[in-house]
Amino acid sequence: MKTASRTFLVTGGASGLGAACSRRLVGLGANVIIADLNEATGRQLAAELGSQAQFARVDVTQADDVQQALDLASKAPGGLRGVVQCAGIIGASRIVGRAGPHELELFNRVVQVNLVGTFNVLRLAAAMMASLPAEDDGERGVIVNTASIAAFEGQIGQAAYAASKGGVASLTLPAARELARVGIRVVAIAPGIFETPMMGQVSPEVRESLTRQIPFPPRFGLPEEYAALVQHVIENRMLNGTVLRLDGGARMEPK
């Protein structure tokens, strides 16, 4: 799919991986709806990117929020042709810790945002894109979801996060198979350890431990590198129904 003069919704688009995707898509000539809960940061980024970007305050778990952002996208040039889902939370906790068992409310919250929120955006966006005129090869749109290598090698303390991202990974193929009939592709990217605001909170000791688990390059990934793969997924029609690891060869240790 071409990016120029098309409109893309980027959830979690105000910071980290999402902000890098917003910037890259605008740089490629696309229009972007920056969907995020952080209104101040989102509006600042939209102002920085200019007339091709608009901000929408969105809680991905709320259908009304998502639909309003999609309606905004539908009115932008080219209509909604793509979604990049970067909204997510971590919520680390041991199943049985010093204070007792894992809080069920925390587990529910992580799964609700990371998995249910992803599905909520996917279902509503797919319904909108399915009604658009088909482009080359019958394509109507592309949806890029964010999983994680924790879906495959979740560490101790990542039960909720790994379960939620495992769900995103498992959602990819059935969604792609079903939406193929209307020309919508679905791909997930499973990033490893990236330089994001969430990772900026870890201690130097944890950072060093994580870096040792990355064969090459021996550093955290850059959001721009994630955005570059998103661009390739959008542009390459043969990428569909798969989960792409972007991790420098990292395989996470138990802790």
User: How many distinct structural domains can be found in the chain?
Assistant: 1
pLDDT in tens, 12-21: 999 999 999 9
Q: CA-to-CA distance for 154 and 177, rounded, in angstroms?
A: 27
- Within a domain: 95: yes
The answer to whether 159 and 106 have CB atoms below 8 angstroms apart is: no
pLDDT in tens, 195-214: 988 777 777 887 888 898 99
pTM, full prediction: 0.94
- Within a domain: 177: yes
Q: CA-to-CA distance for 202 and 180, rounded, in angstroms?
A: 41
Q: What number of other Cβ atoms are within 10 A of residue 142's Cβ? A: 27
- Within a domain: 230: yes
Domain coverage including residue 92: 7-246
pLDDT in tens, 82-132: 999 999 999 889 999 999 999 999 999 999 999 999 999 999 999 999 999
Residue 161 appears among annotated catalytic residues: yes
Catalytic residue among 161, 194, 220, 226: 161
Q: Taking each helix axis as running N to C, give the angle between helix 16-27 and helix 223-235, from 0 to 180 degrees, rounded to the nearest 10.
A: 50
CATH of the domain at 213: 3.40.50.720
